[in-house]
Amino acid sequence: HRTSENTRNALVRIEVVNCFAEPTVIHWHGMIVPDSADGHPHQAVRSGGRYTIEFTVRNPAGTYLYHPHPHRITGRQTYYGLAGLLIVREPRALDAGLPDPEHELPLVLQDRRFGAGNELVFKRMMMDDMNGVLGDRVLVNGVDDAAFRVAPRPYRLRIANVSNARIYKLAWSDGRPLRAIGSDGGLFNRGEGVQERSYVTLFPFERVELLEDFGARRDGAEIALVSRAFSGLDMMDSMMGGGMMGGMMGPSQGEELHIARFTVSPGPRSRAQALKLPEPEGPAREGKHELYTQLAFRHMRGFLNGRSFDADDMQAVADDERLPVGEASLWTFANDGRGMAMSHPIHVHGVRFRVVERSGGTMPADLRDGMIDTGYKDTFGIFAGERVRVLIAPTVPGLFMYHCHNLEHEDGGMMRNCQFSDR
Ligand code: C2O
Ligand code: CU
Ligand code: CU
């Protein structure tokens, strides 16, 4: 879990050395990079191979990620540890009333299960391909039962869900609300404002930034970040009526989980500064282009408009997967294909987008209030039966991808290419 930090317009050069006994390639999730540096599965290098990429940081400040992307083994390589944050900083965080980097905590959440010898246990059963691999313990930055000592002052928490399949319902154990100031693509703008929630729903590979004033609690206070129980999503729940089967089948989606402990050290209290969120960016040039993708999951596999990723023709692009560069397209994802009712985290490479509409479907009441569609996104959750429309304006031409970011669904082929082209 090395975190890499960069500023806008910096030139980044990264050398990747594959020390695995199998192919790999690294993808820079959320970063706007040329497709030659994107880490597409067709760019995977064999064991012992190496390559260098270079790109200029074009993204606004925010919390981005890196993780492997070879076809069919992304889930396993990520599970065993090859993933982390890539933070882009704003040069004037202090002027904006944000805590300085010393009072910032990056929190990478990953659920894992351990065997009798305390080893990581990856796939165990057929259910893992369907639900995605779930663990019963949450590691934070690779540490089990993570504990932080914090000063009685405001902190900036950069929370990233880097779990293969786990959806979190993040909350404080003492019931205080969470104040979200940013999501996948950085800070919310002034018009959007701080999003205060009693809990935050975070799908795999989404990020949320919180501004948390630990000074509002007494010296010595101990609080925990937890994932609250929720129902309505687990497949065994709906198939078997939950309960007993859940226990027999291992960890399930929606169980209550402990994440990390925070202890407030006694010390001088410093007050929260007035927060100045950035001005809204101008809207992207409006286009007329519309795309439609229907999601489906059947026979243990996911489909996008009836297609899956073709391992023999990794660069295949269909007509309904082409987007113009430099103008906004409206892309509708409809999670109502024939098959099992399931939720999916959907991600598009190489572009930032906005969620403009969410309708229909059966969003569990237990998760609704925690959904944050605000800000620039690169990954969003979609529940069974829902339609989500995003406004998306690619800025870099090339061959990119969109896929379900449940890593077991992705490895199972619920992934396709999309081509961004100049007109
Ligand atoms: Cu983070 Cu293609 O994914
Ligand atoms: Cu990505
Ligand atoms: Cu999925």
- pLDDT per position as a tens digit, 133-184: 999 999 999 999 999 999 999 999 999 999 999 999 999 999 999 999 999 9
Distance 403 CA to ligand 3 centre (A): 8
How high is the pLDDT of residue 272? 79
Distance 69 CA to ligand 1 centre (A): 7
Residue keyed to tokens 């226990």: 247
To the nearest whole number, what is the mean pLDDT of the chain? 93
Closest CA to 119 of 108, 141, 135, 131: 135
Residue keyed to tokens 């165990």: 124
- Indicate the pLDDT class of residue 234, thresholds 50, 70 and 90: low
From CA 54, how far away is CA 16, in angstroms rounded? 11
From CA 379, how far away is CA 353, in angstroms rounded? 9
Looking at ligand 1, which atom is closest to the CA of residue 67? 1
How high is the pLDDT of residue 71? 97
How high is the pLDDT of residue 120? 97
| Ligand 1, atom 1: closest residue by C-alpha | 29
- With the C-alpha atoms ordered 420, 183, 368, 222, is the resulting torsion angle positive or negative? positive
Closest CA to 69 of 16, 113, 130, 128: 16
How high is the pLDDT of residue 35? 97
Contact between 41 and 25 (Cβ < 8 Å): yes
Q: b/e for 181-216, b at 16 or more Cβ within 10 A?
A: bbbbbbbbbeebeebebebbbbbbbbbbbbbbbbbe
What kind and span of H or E run contains 170? strand 168-172
Q: Cβ of 117: how many Cβ atoms within 10 Å?
A: 6
Residue keyed to tokens 């390559």: 51
Q: Is residue 29 in contact with ligand 1, taking CB distance under 6 Å?
A: yes
User: Could you tell me the pTM of the whole model?
Assistant: 0.95
- Indicate the pLDDT class of residue 242, thresholds 50, 70 and 90: very low
How high is the pLDDT of residue 110? 98
Looking at ligand 1, which atom is closest to the CA of residue 401? 2
**CA angle, residues 289, 371, 102, in degrees to nearest 5:** 105
**CA angle, residues 389, 353, 416, in degrees to nearest 5:** 75
How high is the pLDDT of residue 270? 83
How high is the pLDDT of residue 249? 65
**CA angle, residues 298, 347, 65, in degrees to nearest 5:** 130
CB atoms within 5 A of ion ligand 3 belong to 344, 404, 406, 409
Between 184 and 271, the more confident residue is 184
What kind and span of H or E run contains 60? none
How high is the pLDDT of residue 237? 53
Residue 203 clears pLDDT 70, i.e. is over it: yes
Q: Is residue 418 in contact with ligand 1, taking CB distance under 6 Å?
A: no
| Ligand 1, atom 3: closest residue by C-alpha | 29
Average pLDDT in the 47-59 region?
96
Q: Identify which ligand lies nearest to the alpha carbon of 415.
A: 1
Residue 243 clears pLDDT 50, i.e. is over it: no
Report which listed range, 222-226, 237-241, 243-247, is most confident.
Answer: 222-226
- Concatenating the DSSP letter of every residue in 334-392 gives E---SS----EEEEETT--EEEEEEEES---HHHHTT----S-BSEEEE-TTEEEEEEE
- Indicate the pLDDT class of residue 93, thresholds 50, 70 and 90: confident
From CA 224, how far away is CA 217, in angstroms rounded? 13
Residue 392 clears pLDDT 80, i.e. is over it: yes
Looking at ligand 1, which atom is closest to the CA of residue 29? 1
Q: b/e for 63-72, b at 16 or more Cβ within 10 A?
A: bbbbbbbbbe
Looking at ligand 1, which atom is closest to the CA of residue 69? 2
